[in-house]
């Protein structure tokens, strides 16, 4: 991202974001509520049109075509706080929908791959269940598997555990940790600072639409430079 400015009417929500993420990096994005974290993620996959600057993914300019999910770059997977599974489809149907419709993967092949992904996130026995029959943690693991079914190059997570009961947070973080260890490029908005410390290659701290500070997790948590970062860390640790 170079010089990215995003406005909602008169409100400037991103005020000049420069951010380069290398392949294989796991970037944890943190900052106070309203600082622009979700908006930044949404600019990476073209869900939001920007006013100024540029967003380039894998050498290609991201141009927003509005928030229609089927026009998004299929190489960028996104996982939201509120699972967003299609409630009228089974878990397996949720996983094969985009691969068959968007990537034109043959149905049998999509099903085989979906089952493998469900096994990978530990819910293969839920393939024929509907989302509301699953716990929150299981639904979020299904949502991650659904994103992976598109074979993404980059995964964006927007507070993936914030809506979960404490005992379910770990099962989702475990799946994300495995993904990180397999080399997936990830940008994760989260308040799980233990996870950030352990898994992130870099922590980026935002406030009021700007990147205030970024560092490797050890340095970020043990010797933050900026006053605003110190205050934030003091509040959440």
Kindly state the number of chain residues that form the binding site for Mg ion, as judged by CB under 5 A.
2
228 is a contact residue toward ligand ADP (CB under 6 A): no
Residue (32 or 122) nearer to Mg ion, CB: 32
Site string for ligand ADP, 1-20 (x = CB under 6 A): -------x--x-x-------
90 is a contact residue toward Mg ion (CB under 5 A): no
Strand segments (E) across the chain: 2-8, 11-17, 26-30, 52-54, 56-57, 60-61, 76-79, 154-158, 185-189, 202-207, 210-215
Stretch that binds ligand ADP, among 36-44, 62-70, 98-106, 137-145 (CB under 6 A): 36-44
Alpha-carbon distance of 158 to 77, in angstroms, equals 11
Q: Give residue number: closest CB to Mg ion.
A: 38
38 is a contact residue toward Mg ion (CB under 5 A): yes
35 is a contact residue toward Mg ion (CB under 5 A): no
Alpha-carbon distance of 178 to 86, in angstroms, equals 25
Question: Contacting ligand ADP (CB under 6 A), which of 4, 27, 35, 118?
Answer: 35
Q: Is 144 helix (H, G, I), strand (E, B) or coil?
A: helix
160 is a contact residue toward ligand ADP (CB under 6 A): no
Query: Which of 115, 108, 67, 73 is CA-nearest to residue 90?
Result: 115
Residue (10 or 237) nearer to ligand ADP, CB: 10
Q: How far is the CB of 204 from Mg ion (least distance, A)?
A: 14
Alpha-carbon distance of 225 to 93, in angstroms, equals 48
The first and second tokens of residue 30, run together, are 């943190």
Instruction: Please choose which of Mg ion, ligand ADP, none residue 34 contacts, taking the beta carbon within 5 to 8 angstroms, the exact cut-off set by kind.
Output: ligand ADP
Cβ neighbors of 110 (< 8 A, separation 6 or more) are 95, 96, 99, 100, 149
């Amino acid at each position: 991202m170079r010089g990215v400015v995003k406005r909602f009417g008169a409100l400037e929500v991103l005020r000049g974001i420069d951010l380069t993420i290398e392949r294989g990096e796991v970037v944890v994005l943190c900052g106070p509520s309203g600082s622009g974290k979700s908006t930044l993620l949404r600019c990476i996959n073209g869900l939001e049109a920007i006013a100024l600057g540029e967003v380039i993914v894998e050498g290609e300019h991201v141009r927003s075509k509005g928030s229609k999910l089927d026009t998004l770059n299929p190489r960028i997977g996104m996982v939201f706080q509120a699972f967003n599974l299609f409630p009228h489809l089974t878990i397996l149907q949720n996983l094969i929908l985009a691969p068959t419709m968007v990537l034109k993967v043959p149905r049998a092949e999509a099903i085989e791959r979906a089952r493998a992904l469900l096994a990978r996130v530990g819910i293969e026995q839920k393939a024929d269940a509907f989302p509301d029959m699953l716990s929150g943690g299981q639904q979020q693991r299904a949502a991650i598997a659904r994103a992976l079914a598109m074979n993404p190059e980059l995964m964006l997570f927007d507070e993936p555990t914030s809506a979960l009961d404490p005992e379910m947070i770990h099962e989702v973080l475990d799946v994300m940790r495995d993904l990180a260890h397999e080399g997936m490029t990830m940008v994760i908005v989260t308040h799980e600072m233990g996870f950030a410390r352990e898994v992130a290659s870099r922590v980026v701290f935002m406030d009021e639409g700007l990147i205030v500070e970024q560092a490797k997790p050890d340095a970020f948590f043990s010797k933050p430079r900026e006053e605003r970062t110190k205050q934030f860390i003091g509040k959440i640790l």
